[in-house]
Structure 1
């Protein structure tokens, strides 16, 4: 049989000088063997034959000289020859195919080989192949049992890949490109997988081709980026474009090589070796992360996650009355008392050490190891403590009222502004004292229990304040009594109602006992006046004003003077409520006297007018006579 390279001599005289020079110079290259020259000629002869690929199998067939030749030995000889030819930059490889290079192509390939790349660039590109191409940019793992998304750090040969994020998990890939790859035996991998509270370690299989392809890819990409210019000769542009096309194919091969290396590689998590059962790289990663979560978050199981709408549940707790709240709380999962106790203990410890607790921080604490609780489940637990009056939420150092809490906590962006404090509780003696005082003031006994009693007292005081404010416009005119008392009472109630926390409110309520008892007396007087006595007051004022129109005559009547003095004292009194019952009688008396005087005056004027008429008639007749 005749190998293909024997046909080279028949066309040699027709070849371009540069091609012949390349092959002739190769023949005198001390780094090459005679077999290499024949193989180089074969690659030249098939360079532009699309139907024949320059792979090892085809080259073996084209190099056979005997029918019974040992193909395996010949194949090995060809592979060794190809390595020598490639090393001398006489040929190039693109995947499994090898190509003859012209002089200009050799020059460009030599320049590409001379491009320097760092180990950091290698690790970064390898990391992007794994995390961006194979895993499609995945940065989170969803733990399906509680639907929490865990961020994970992405490392490749100890180099971080992508943007730095707060993370709870670590995935580290060890590739054959790492300088210390050989030192990563099973014992070291197991040991490293226990660090940082546990992590996932993938050790790729040792594939020399992977490293070769990656370095060629990086050098070519870098060369094209730096070299490409519109001013280059057309031939150079074409060669660079060919290298770019080859590199796109190389990138696809690299992805396949990496995927195979991961599947065939080893996986270690939390000191254990995991057997590969997944059919894809993503599934293998998810399986490893699932194992990592379940074996490194020791208190994960203390929380039974809520399966419904967290915001609706929180809103229901906050808006329901005391009876409905207890019903909702009773329906919470039975296992969550353990989770609640974890939060209680932390709040108690922080309170004891005077450590300020921010809502964002405490929720973030339970997202991390050893808990791994979803943020809204933690928020629901805190709401449980809130409605059972174990904690308070403060905004700008003031307690949040129940009716506005939901609006302030429904957006995580506001959590950094809210403080969590352990709520102080009152002893039974203080509560009973407040209940009795409430009865003395509001005429009915408030309910037992700190929060129900607070609600009763607060609402009662608020109702009184609203009533007093409704009396104020009339009192401000100066025509009705109680202005000073109303203003003082409203101010006192403002002071009391300023405290939205049951502990502070009830303590202040007891402390203001004397003032509130006085206010109670004043309130009942004012309430009775403006509800029942205002009409008679208006009549008394009108009667007094009418009498003043005839004051000159009334002042000559001792009885009238006495009555007007009494009316004047009533109208000018700051607290006329006990004597206003005299008003009807006084109105009747002064009206009668005033009418009598008016009638007498009217009679006198009538008599005087008649006498004047008679005198006029007498004078008239006298004159006429």
Structure 2
């Protein structure tokens, strides 16, 4: 009984499913027939749509709908696919056929920009993107950026980002045309061309100022040339200016003036027309400055080292070695000539700088003579000191070690003297030598005064009376004198003896330094 009921239910389900399939088939057939023989209205207008099947009729209807709604979509004949394609356009590397592509789209955008320019209304890249992605255009965002890139490369429009003019070779330009965060700050406007007369004037100025002949003929190339050369000029001027940080040199005022003109030009680099107008307005100042800088540039390139050397030589004679050199007539004359030549005046005579070589040579030659004399005197002093040391040692075995050490120390002094060229340092060696001799002599006295003490005897330390010590300078005790006979020597020594004895008594001793 149950099995029969189940079979009856299954039969009913199968019949219903079969009926449903039949109805669906009938519906498809009626719909297809309606599509094939029906009437189509697009945007309120009746359109005849042909086709052999319902699918082809619908495809043709949608295509007609798109063409009717986005009637400018075919203006994009050659779409782009990535940022690299846009950079290729900006660099002008698409060839003649590539540059002529999408001409209708370029003309449409340019015409819109012209209208807004006449209305004095700014147009942002965001505005262009919104306009040309909508009806009746339907262009892709990247293709709109590519169309603007073609206008930029053709020098028909100007791009400004946050108020600054962007050159076609700016690496960030693609971002300014595409990124949502940038397009609102990017303005596109009809380019104001520089008059041909101004272009020629600027080219002539550049030829005279930079001594160049190869100057680009197009506006963007000319602007890039201007900015590049003036940036290089600024760098060179600042490098020369930095050499005046520690000491002022000839031409410092000319450098400051030239740099001020260059900076004025570069301040206008973000606006092509302002840049050209600035150069034209500064024509006389720039060219006069360039003439004034010719000798200055040569000075900083090839003469400044000689100038500094002469200045240091003069300073050394006047402030460091004056007592040894300045009283020599030829040295004083050379120093006076250096002073006159290096003096900075309004019309500085750069042609006199080579004369500094002779002045320096004279001073060096005279100094070499004085140095040689000083060294000879010091070597003689060392020999005299060594003779006194040897005389005191007198073949004493007890003093042999001190004598050997003295020889080494005096030889070291001679090596030091031979290496020196500074007269003040050489003069200071005199005291060092005599002090060394005194120390050696004192060490000898200590050795000679030592007594051998038996280990069974206790050393007796005598009580010393505390004495006052009077210090006398050797130069005071032994005054300068010319001695020509034995009588002169006896008289000189007698005077010294009497003077020394007058200081000595039971309660006082003297120390000669």
TM-score with structure 1 setting the length: 0.51
- Kept in 2, the 8 Å contact 1:529–1:577? The answer is no
RMSD: 4.5
Q: 1:361: Cα distance to partner?
A: 1.5
Distance 1:358 1:557, change over 3 A: same
Secondary structure class of the residue paired with 2:235: helix
Change (3 A) 1:345 1:619: same
In 1, Cα distance between the equivalents of 2:100 and 2:485? Answer: 113
In structure 2, distance between residues paired with 1:255 and 1:537: 106
Quick check: 1:340–1:381 contact (8 Å CA) kept in 2? Answer: yes
Cα pair 2:86 2:174 within 8 Å, conserved: no
| Cα distance in structure 2, aligned partners of 1:616 and 1:384 | 112
1:580 aligned partner: 353
Q: Which residue of 1 aligns with 2:195?
A: 427
Q: Please, which runs of 5 or more residues in structure 2 have no aligned partner?
A: 381-478, 498-513
Q: Deviations over 1:266-301 (max 9, x none)?
A: 5432423455859788x7765433111223444444
Give 1:510 shift.
Answer: 1.0
Shift of 1:520: 1.9
Equivalent in the alignment of 1:341: 107
Match of 2:87 in 1: 315
> Are residue 408 (structure 1) and residue 175 (structure 2) matched?
yes
User: 3-state DSSP class of the match of 1:357?
Assistant: coil
Q: Match of 1:371, SS?
A: coil
Q: Which of 233, 241, 244 is the aligned partner of 1:475?
A: 244
CA distances 1:194-229 after superposition (whole Å, capped 9, x unpaired): xxxxxxxxxxxxxxxxxxxxxxxxxxxxxxxxxxxx
Q: Alpha carbons of 1:612 and 1:371: their partners in 2 closer, same or farther (altered >3 Å)?
A: farther
Q: Secondary structure at the match of 1:272?
A: strand
Q: Does 1:380 align with 2:146?
A: yes
In structure 1, how many angstroms separate the alpha carbons of the residues matched to 2:492 and 2:281? 94
Identify the match of residue 185 of structure 2 among 401, 417, 423. Answer: 417
CA distance in 2, matches of 1:260, 1:344: 51
Aligned residues: 383
The verdict on how the C-alpha distance between 1:346 and 1:276 changes in structure 2, with shifts beyond 3 A counting, is closer
Q: Does 1:330 align with 2:101?
A: no
- 1:529 aligned residue: 299
SS of the residue aligned with 2:94?
A: helix
**Cross-structure match for 1:353:** 119
CA distance in 2, matches of 1:313, 1:543: 65
Aligned to 2:279: 509
Task: Provide the secondary structure at the position in 1 that maps to 2:98.
Answer: coil
1:598 to partner: Cα distance: 7.2
User: Which secondary structure state, in structure 1, belongs to the residue aligned with residue 158 of structure 2?
Assistant: strand
Structure 1 residues 559 and 622, CA gap change in structure 2 (3 angstroms) = closer
CA distance in 2, matches of 1:351, 1:621: 109
CA contact (8 A) 1:46 1:52 kept: no
1:462 deviation in Å? Answer: 1.4
Superposed CA deviations along residues 500-535 of structure 1, whole A, max 9, x for unmatched, are 343221111111223322432354344322321133
Give the whole-Å Cα distance in 2 for the aligned partners of 1:532 and 1:262: 96
Superposed CA offset, 1:370-411 (max 9, x none): 434333333222212212222111111001232234352364
The whole-number CA distance in structure 1 between the counterparts of 2:219 and 2:192 is 11
Residue 332 of structure 1 aligns to a residue whose secondary structure is helix
Q: Is 2:65 the counterpart of 1:292?
A: yes
C-alpha separation between the residues in 1 aligned to 2:328 and 2:147?
A: 82
Supply the distance in 1 between the matched residues of 2:25 and 2:327 (Cα, whole angstroms): 123
Aligned to 2:221: 452
Identify which of 364, 367, 384 aligns with 2:133: 367
- Secondary structure of 1:53's aligned partner: helix
Match of 1:541 among 286, 303, 311: 311
CA 256–582 in structure 1, closer or farther in 2 if over 3 Å, else same: farther
